[in-house]
Amino acid sequence: MNLINEEITHNVFGEGNIVEHEESFITVDFNKNLKRFVYPDAFENFITLNNRSMAESLEKVFVERKAEEKILEKKRKEEKAIQVLEQQRREILKNHKIHESSQIVFWLDQERQSDVFTDWEVSTGSIQSGKNKGLPNPVTRLRPNSAGVLTVRTPDQKETERTIRGLFMVDDTFTGSIGEDGLVPTHPKYRIQLTEEEAEKMLFWNYYKNKNYPDRTSWNSGTFRYFDNIWTAQILQDIIALKADEEQIKEAEEFMDYFCKLNAIDINNIPEAEGALR
């Protein structure tokens, strides 16, 4: 909007003419007395355009500007909130010594298999005996660096046929304390679901090995068990190689980058899997 030669009224200096209009300033001639003002702020505080049509047009500029400022302010607040959460996450990791087996593997029952990939809610199960019977099973090793590996095995399958159906990262603000619902909080971004065909190529026991009984392949009871960090990296590496869809490959690569960073794993030096079936 070009305001040169427009007549104005100033609250103190009275009538004047705009003789110069830059991007952020205007210069007004008050009877040979030149004054410089910030544009457009001056029009909101102490200068009025005498031309009513121009004044209305300028008012629209103010409305648009305020709307843009609200959007920017909202964005700044959101970015600040993200920074606060990131700082909290860093503090959690800083104060948490990474356990070499701080990942978790779940055995999904048949009832949960149908909807776990919709709501991404996974329970640790409940304590079966003692004074804490009925309370959620604690998961003391889990922190934001932890991933959850989701496995399935039907009653008619051998244990060696247990497959990996998906993975998720634990939420980046999780402190290790499970709530009354017993649900592990999952990260909203880092989640992977495998198709049945893909899962058939991802056998759990290709990665997991009981260090005391390396040839044993048994999961007698329990909803979950802990899992080595490097084994999870091996799974992610194989999923990237398995996927064909470019977008899914990208998502798996981002998952792996995030996982390896939080677990101090050299992404370029991951050994081959040596599970019980290898």
CB atoms within 10 A of CB 50: 12
Distance of CA 60 to the CA centre of its chain: 38
Does the pLDDT value for residue 167 go beyond 90?
A: yes
Residues 120 and 185 occupy one common structural domain: yes
Q: Report the C-alpha gap between 255 and 239 in whole angstroms.
A: 11
pLDDT for 94: 63
Residues 45 and 171 occupy one common structural domain: no
What pLDDT, in 10s, does the model give residues 92-141? 656 667 888 999 999 998 777 778 898 998 988 888 888 988 888 889 89
Domain of 138, in residue numbers: 99-262
Domain assignment present for residue 157? The answer is yes
Bridge partners of 8, per DSSP, are: 16, 49
Tokens for 241? Answer: 């190689």
How much of the chain exceeds pLDDT 90, in percent? 52
Domain assignment present for residue 155? The answer is yes
CA dihedral 235, 237, 240, 242 (to 10 degrees): -60
State whether residue 168 is helix, strand or coil: strand
Domain assignment present for residue 110? The answer is yes
What pLDDT, in 10s, does the model give residues 31-53? 989 999 998 888 888 999 999 88
Q: How much is the pTM?
A: 0.66
Q: Are 149 and 126 in contact (CB under 8 A)?
A: no
Helix (H) or strand (E) holding 119: helix 116-119
What pLDDT, in 10s, does the model give residues 55-106? 888 888 888 888 998 999 999 998 998 888 777 666 665 666 788 899 999 9
174: CATH: 3.10.590
Tokens for 48? Answer: 């009025």
Instruction: Tally the residues of the chain.
Output: 278
**Count of domains forming the chain:** 2
Which range among 20-29, 95-104, 239-248, 255-264 shows the weakest confidence by mean pLDDT? 95-104
For tokens 């600040």, the residue is 80
What pLDDT, in 10s, does the model give residues 190-228? 999 999 999 999 999 999 999 899 999 999 888 999 999
Domain assignment present for residue 84? The answer is no
